[in-house]
Amino acid sequence: MVFRLYSKFMENLEARSLMTSDQLLADFLSYLETHAWNRSRKVQGYDLVFVDEFHLFSPLERQVLHYLTRDVSSYPRVFMAVDPRQSPSEAFIGVASDETWSTSAQTEDGLGEIANFELTTVHRFTPQILDLIKHVHHEFPTLDLGHDWDVDFSAVESTQKDGPRPRLVIAASRVGEETDIYRTIHEIYGAGRLALAIVDMRQWQRYSELASRVGQSGKFHVSTISGRTEVDGLGYRQRGVVVGPAEYLAGLQFSTVLVAGIPDLQTAAPTPNEKTRILSLLYLALSRAEREVRVFANDDDGGAAEVLLRAVTNDIMDVEQGSRT
């Protein structure tokens, strides 16, 4: 069945004269391995290569990197900024993380000897948001992230001024939660860039319909994204609301982030890998905010996730009663 679906997909692409990104990269890699490029790179190549959001690169994309440098007689000098907890892929989270990093990133990709440097100063968000992110991070030790990602979060500090404490808003129903989100958008719209990040992709349809209704009201400029290709240009907008799955907001920053669609981790994520993925996406959503975070939940979907309720108990978040409708 899987092979038949794949064959249909490839036939459809061929009929439209299209190709996949993997096919394009495979062809590009073939060119980079030619003698022609091996000579040209001495002039056209780069002395240093800086890579941001390395955790979002596919294995094929990572292989391209070491062909881009100028000097063919030494290991490529590549500086990679990576935060595996922001990766929506299992390439850097879950039980495969040790093998993926040590084998694929170091050996198969030919990147040579890698020196790791932990950055312990945060400039992008307030101490209050950092405290919540630390709390979510501490949910990870019971899961297998791999020894390469044992970060000492106690040494991480924020250079930003204090901001409002993160809020947890719990409504009685799905309709009530949507009402709370709409009211919040109305309240803070115009006070900087705003995002609604959806953690669980399985709930995306409902929130995308909410985004459509918010946009059709004529009061707000709403941009809905459902893929990485739709992100271009959003990073330069100063106003408006961006609504999308958390994994597609990677690399963007907003003044305020509203987080929704967090499943009950006790029942909705039965496997360790799936639980790790959900926590990673929650971590990613929270880290998109510069000044304020508000998290929304509802009783119809089981209420707030346990990790958030513990944040309230630990005096990291404020909780408030949402709409009762």
Q: Are residues 169 and 237 in the same domain?
A: yes
Is 226 in the same domain as 186? yes
> For residue 74, is it within any domain?
yes
Which two three-digit tokens encode residue 291?
Answer: 């000044």
Beta bridge partners of 256: 194, 292
Q: Which domain holds residue 283?
A: 125-321
* Pair (196, 141) in one structural domain: yes
151, 270: one domain: yes
120 in any annotated domain: no
Confidence of residue 142 (pLDDT cuts 50, 70, 90): very low
Give domain status of residue 301, yes or no: yes
Asked if pLDDT for residue 6 goes beyond 60, the answer is yes
Please report whether residue 35 resides in a domain.
yes
pTM of the model: 0.68
Is residue 310 assigned to a domain?
A: yes
Claim to verify: residue 104 and residue 170 sit in the same structural domain? no
Six token digits for residue 48: 């240093």
Within a domain: 198: yes
Confirm whether 117 is domain-assigned: no
pLDDT of residue 60: 82
List pLDDT tens digits, range 281-324: 898 899 999 999 999 999 999 899 988 998 999 999 999 999 98
228 and 136: one domain?
A: yes
Total domain count, the chain: 2
- 80 and 152 share a domain? no
What are 33's two structure tokens? 């391995």
pLDDT digits (tens, 9 = 90+) for 74-89: 767 788 776 655 555 5
Tens digits of residue pLDDT in 31-74: 988 889 988 998 999 998 898 877 777 778 888 887 898 887 77
For residue 122, what pLDDT is reported? 77
Contact, 221 vs 239, CB < 8 A? yes
Q: Torsion angle of alpha carbons 159, 243, 164, 128, nearest 10°? A: -40
- What CATH number is associated with residue 221? 3.40.50.300
One domain, residues 174 and 88: no
Shared domain for 182 and 255, answered yes or no, is: yes
